[in-house]
Amino acid sequence: MQSSANAKLIKAEAERLGFMGCGISKADFLEPEARNLEQWLNHGYQGDMAWMANHFDKRVNPRKLVDGAKSVVSVLLNYYPEKKQNADAPQISKYAYGTDYHFVIKDKLKALLHFINQNIGEVGGRAFVDSAPVLDRAWAQRSGLGWIGKHTLLINQKAGSFFFIGELIIDLELEPDHPTTEHCGTCTRCIDACPTGAIVQENLVDANKCISYLTIEYKKELPAAFQNQMEGWAFGCDICQDVCPWNRFSAPTKEPAFTADERILKNDWADWQEITEEVFKEVFKNSAVKRTKFEGFTRNIKFLKK
């Protein structure tokens, strides 16, 4: 069948481009995810991220994003670093050590779309990386790349969860993959380890309490109630992933763009506390940490208790 041969061709090229996984799902309406998203928003669990409520129709229906959409090609890109940060320093989430993933993945996805057009035929579509209108975990889960863990992140049985997700939504019919089974079982390590109780129940995170949201998206003064609960995190938080038993399978990324600036790895408390705007701009010139801006990053560091 042509749709099966084309799916194989696309997966082989995705692997050649450095993606650690590639799976395909039908570009159907996302049900039951639409209902779950609606309930999450109704609870106000999105905090100040008003954009989460925008484009609801597009989020749950890929055909509203790409005319005639038939398939969603999901890809995973490993970011697990070979070297970790000095543990005695304000912590930065591992995903932000290197070059901003939006650029890295978008370039690779555009190359994949170009390959499809060159080798399969004229195909319309768009590349998405962590962009508001796409529920990337849901698509990756549907395409057999893993299951959504109790911390709400995607877990791959062979690779854990330290990877980015991106997707192409295209108007080409491809043989879809099947979802995998769920393997959290009776484990509750992520829920037990979350210092702020943000995982309010299995598969439900209240962003208002999540350190990742507070240190990156939240723009006001950090609420005093969290002062003793930050566990040293100055940008993002990896605790629920670090404790997950499936991450014992994480292997270092082979993507050179994700190599960390040595200062990110070696700086200690004093270095970060004294950081100037000039140094901030230099150290994080290509990093996702820029998103907090200098003011946000220094606000976070000042908030931490050494």
As measured in angstroms, the least distance from the Cβ of 217 to ligand SF4 is 12
Q: How far apart are CA 213 and CA 235, in angstroms?
A: 9
Minimum distance from CB of 96 to ligand SF4 (Å)?
Answer: 13
d(CA 220, CA 47): 12
What's the rounded Cα separation, in Å, for the pair 60 and 41? 14
* Residue nearest ligand SF4, Cβ-based: 149
Residue in this structure with the two tokens 């484009």, named with its chain if needed: 55
| Amino acid at position 42, single letter | N
Of 194 and 289, the one with the shorter C-beta distance to ligand SF4 is 194
Could you tell me the smallest distance in angstroms from the CB atom of residue 237 to ligand SF4? 3
Nearer to ligand SF4, 133 or 236 (CB): 236
57 tagged catalytic: no
Sign of the C-alpha dihedral, residues 37, 38, 43, 44? positive
Q: How far is the CB of 143 from ligand SF4 (least distance, A)?
A: 19
Whichever of 116 and 140 has its CB closer to ligand SF4, that residue is 140
> Is the bond preceding 62 in cis, omega lying within 30 degrees of 0?
no
Catalytic residue among 48, 107, 130, 261: 130
Q: Are 200 and 254 in contact (CB under 8 A)?
A: no
Minimum distance from CB of 18 to ligand SF4 (Å)? 26
| Amino acid, res. 126 | R
Of 142, 137, 170, give the one whose Cα is nearest residue 66. 170
Q: How far is CA 76 from CA 18, 139, 263, in A?
A: 9, 11, 27
Name the residue nearer to ligand SF4 (CB basis): 77 or 198: 198
Residue 124 or 245 having the CB closest to ligand SF4: 245
What is the number of other CB atoms lying within 10 angstroms of the CB of residue 103?
Answer: 13
List of residues contacting ligand SF4 (CB under 6 A): 149-151, 155, 184, 187-190, 194, 196, 198-199, 205, 210-212, 237, 239-240, 243-246
Q: Which CB, 197 or 256, lies closer to ligand SF4?
A: 197
CA–CA separation, 261 and 254 (whole Å):
16
| Residue where the block lists tokens 């990156």 | 216
Cβ at position 201, least distance to ligand SF4 in Å: 12
Active site residues: 130
